[in-house]
């Protein structure tokens, strides 16, 4: 398919906080969420139809489960449900003593562990942490403190894990040990100045480059493994939240956005779902093994 780096509007959803796109290769559909609207969306690539269903709390991230259904980073912890939306239940509580926090972005790794972090509802510095849900149901704290836990991704060789703390205005890189899911030697990959925007969700392509949504700047940036800015995609909305690769060949980049607090006269498509074909492929989404 011919590369087309100009993002097109797919769904004019007017989501409060569109986030967390995840490609479901088996069904040819994209899952994504609206945190503020307490909705999980499903976009059918073949028909162009987008449907959604409600969940009881704010949802920060979703991942497919190998056994079927979903695992979700909900406001108060990790939840699971079946694909027909039944059986919604909390699998493990997170920060039960901190109701002023909620869970945010997350992603499964290649061994079936689900990583997701937290943030303060008022975006207080140092309020959050990054957690790992193992298939057994055990929850481990992996990084603390965190300002606003956000995008996650792994290099193709699984030797690196990338992680965005929005309030630190950085994307960091860890050495990663995939068998045990251990991280070490944290270093800065790239910084986003406060006057430009906030580093938000991210994904990694097959060449090992990191695609980062810059919230407030209306951009998705592609960084090299060494941290160099290789290119910038510009969108017609300022609050860009998260990119993810999908499509039959994983050569389509889907991008979510937020409409909360945006003047609709200035940005009529804020909160929409966008897509472009950047000329590079992504990696399949991993699934939770619990």
Q: Which residue has the tokens 């619990």?
A: 290
- Work out the angle at residue 283's Cα, subtended by the Cα atoms of residues 282 and 286, and round it to the nearest 5 degrees: 140
Could you tell me the two tokens for 255?
Answer: 């991008």
d(CA 263, CA 225): 36
- Work out the angle at residue 258's Cα, subtended by the Cα atoms of residues 253 and 261, and round it to the nearest 5 degrees: 160
Question: What is the SS3 assignment for 168?
Answer: helix
Q: Is 34 a catalytic site residue?
A: no
d(CA 37, CA 122): 17
φ and ψ at residue 76, rounded to 5 degrees: -110, 10
Residue 257's nearest CA partner among 271, 244, 245 is 271
Task: Give whole-number Cα distances, 65 to 55, 110, 149, 261, in Å.
Answer: 17, 12, 22, 33
Task: Kindly name the residue from 200, 205, 251, 263 that is annotated as catalytic.
Answer: 200
Question: What is the SS3 assignment for 195?
Answer: coil
- DSSP secondary structure of 213-277: EEETTTEEEEE-TTS-EEEEEE-SSSBEEEEEEESTTS-EEEEEEB-TT--TTT-TTTT-EEEEE
Residues with a catalytic annotation lie at 200
């Amino acid at each position: 398919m011919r590369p087309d780096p100009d993002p097109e509007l797919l769904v004019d959803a007017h989501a409060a906080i569109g986030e967390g796109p995840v490609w479901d290769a088996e069904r040819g559909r994209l899952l994504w969420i609206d945190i503020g609207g307490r909705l999980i969306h499903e976009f059918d690539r073949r028909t162009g139809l987008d449907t959604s269903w409600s969940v009881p709390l704010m949802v920060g991230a979703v991942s497919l489960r190998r056994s079927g259904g979903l695992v979700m980073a909900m406001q108060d912890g990790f939840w699971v449900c079946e694909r027909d939306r039944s059986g919604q239940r909390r699998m493990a509580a997170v920060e039960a003593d901190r109701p002023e926090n909620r869970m945010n972005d997350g992603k499964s790794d290649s061994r079936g562990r689900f990583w997701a972090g937290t943030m303060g509802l008022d975006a207080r510095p140092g309020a959050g942490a990054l957690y790992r849900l193992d298939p057994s149901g055990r929850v481990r704290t992996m990084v603390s403190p965190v300002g606003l836990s956000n995008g996650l991704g792994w290099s193709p060789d699984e030797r690196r894990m990338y992680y965005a703390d929005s309030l630190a205005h950085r994307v960091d890189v860890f050495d990663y040990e995939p068998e045990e899911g251990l991280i070490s030697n944290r270093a800065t990959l790239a910084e986003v100045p406060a006057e430009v925007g906030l580093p938000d969700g991210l994904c990694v392509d097959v060449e090992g480059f990191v695609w980062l949504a810059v919230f407030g700047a209306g951009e998705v940036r592609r960084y090299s493994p060494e941290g160099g800015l290789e290119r910038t995609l510009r969108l017609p909305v300022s609050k860009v939240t998260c990119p993810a690769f999908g499509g039959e060949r994983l050569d389509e980049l889907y991008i979510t956005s937020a409409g909360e607090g945006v003047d609709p006269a200035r940005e009529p498509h804020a909160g929409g779902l966008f897509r472009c074909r950047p000329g590079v492929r992504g990696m399949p989404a991993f699934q939770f093994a619990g």
